[in-house]
A = this chain, B = another copy of it.
Amino acid sequence: MMNHRKITVFTDPPSVLACASAVGGEEANGPLGAEFDFHDPGDKFGADTWEHAEGKLAGVVFSLLMKKADFDHRRVDMLFAGDLQNQCVATSEGLMPYGIPYLGLYGACSTCGEGLLLASLALSVPGGVSYATVITTSHFCAAERQYRTPLEYGSQRSPTAQWTATAGGGFLLGREQTPVAVEAVMPGRIVDSGIRDASNMGAAMAPAAADSLLCYLTQRNERAADYDAIITGDLAKEGSSILYELLEKEGVFIRDRHFDCGKLLYDYGKQDVHAGASGCGCSASVLAAHFMPKIKGGELRRVLFMATGALMSPSSLQQGGNIAGISPVVALTHRP
């Protein structure tokens, strides 16, 4: 399972200066509802199609981020962003008006982790840029139409299916020292475990998360217990239990410190979301709204954030292709 992977440990760690989040109605009704900065109960964010609504959501997250940081958007040197729509078009539509130098990413639901990783690298180049933002979004209705069936069809969902979050998260990173530092980053590998069921993405992503965590801990000569929290993106119920199984075979136990954003976002008892949440915006909004304040406040001192992505497309599914997983690692530290 192990493979060569170089971990970049920053000699002068970049910082998270501010975070912002915005969600739809279902997410606002979930257990974390009160922690998000903004929600639209109708999920439309002022747009006339679900696809455009996601673009508007990206814009809302970005403008909230600038407001919370009291930061002029013209000072942002690089914008790392992406979403789940074909060709990441929600991102380019929604963030274009700000005119920020843009680097489009596609890491499926792991895009938030990929963005934090790349922003941290960009901010660590001698003589390089000073401020970078990371914005990722997803929208339930746009994702269902694109990957599965339009909502109007009223398709039955399988028990392992996940609910793409209508959510977005944003981060402003810089070189000055704040209470949240990016200690180290490691990109994920593409891991194919032979899954072909778009309604079981947890199973497709869990092996990638296991692969990354084992590789990271081994190479840094650390144990899971060295971290206060190991946060995965959106494995949800199904994927989280597969992750435990894979790790425990290798003697790594994380159940007492593992959190999965896909499990936290909804109330399984009251909300009909099957295995749990997924989507680019799931891990981004939960990290921004729920975990970042705890790292900032020192309640969590060392955290591994492992967003998880399922790499597939509507046409690859139609042609019977496998769904591969990927999971980049971002180590976040409380700076006293």
* A residues with CB within 8 A of B: 3-6, 8-12, 49, 51-52, 74-75, 77-78, 82, 84-89, 92-93, 95-96, 99-108, 114, 117-118, 121-122, 124-130, 146, 186-190, 192, 311-316, 319, 321, 324, 326, 328
- A127: nearest chain-B partner, CB-CB: B11
A125 to B52, CA, bound (A): 37
**Cross-chain contact B315 with A85 (CB below 8 angstroms):** yes
- A125: nearest chain-B partner, CB-CB: B124
**Cross-chain contact A88 with B106 (CB below 8 angstroms):** yes
- A142: nearest chain-B partner, CB-CB: B315
Q: How many copies does the complex hold?
A: 2
B residues near A311, Cβ cutoff 8 Å: 87-89, 92, 104
B residues near A86, Cβ cutoff 8 Å: 86-87, 313-315
- 11 other A-B residue contacts (CB within 8 Å) besides A3-B99, A87-B106, A95-B190: A5-B101, A8-B125, A8-B129, A51-B316, A84-B87, A86-B314, A101-B188, A104-B105, A104-B108, A104-B311, A105-B106
- A128: nearest chain-B partner, CB-CB: B8
In the complex, what's the smallest C-beta–C-beta distance from A148 to chain B, in angstroms?
14
B residues near A114, Cβ cutoff 8 Å: 103-104
Leading 8 A-B pairs by shortest Cβ distance:
A101-B187, A87-B313, A86-B313, A89-B313, A92-B311, A96-B190, A104-B106, A106-B106
**Cross-chain contact A186 with B121 (CB below 8 angstroms):** no
Give 6 pairs: A residue, B residue, CB < 8 Å, sorted on A: A87-B312, A89-B313, A96-B190, A102-B187, A103-B328, A124-B128
**Cross-chain contact A127 with B52 (CB below 8 angstroms):** no
**Cross-chain contact B126 with A126 (CB below 8 angstroms):** yes
B residues near A128, Cβ cutoff 8 Å: 6, 8, 121, 124
**Cross-chain contact A187 with B99 (CB below 8 angstroms):** no
In the complex, what's the smallest C-beta–C-beta distance from A6 to chain B, in angstroms?
4
- A316: nearest chain-B partner, CB-CB: B89
**Max chain B C-beta neighbours (<10 A), residue from A12, A122, A188:** A122
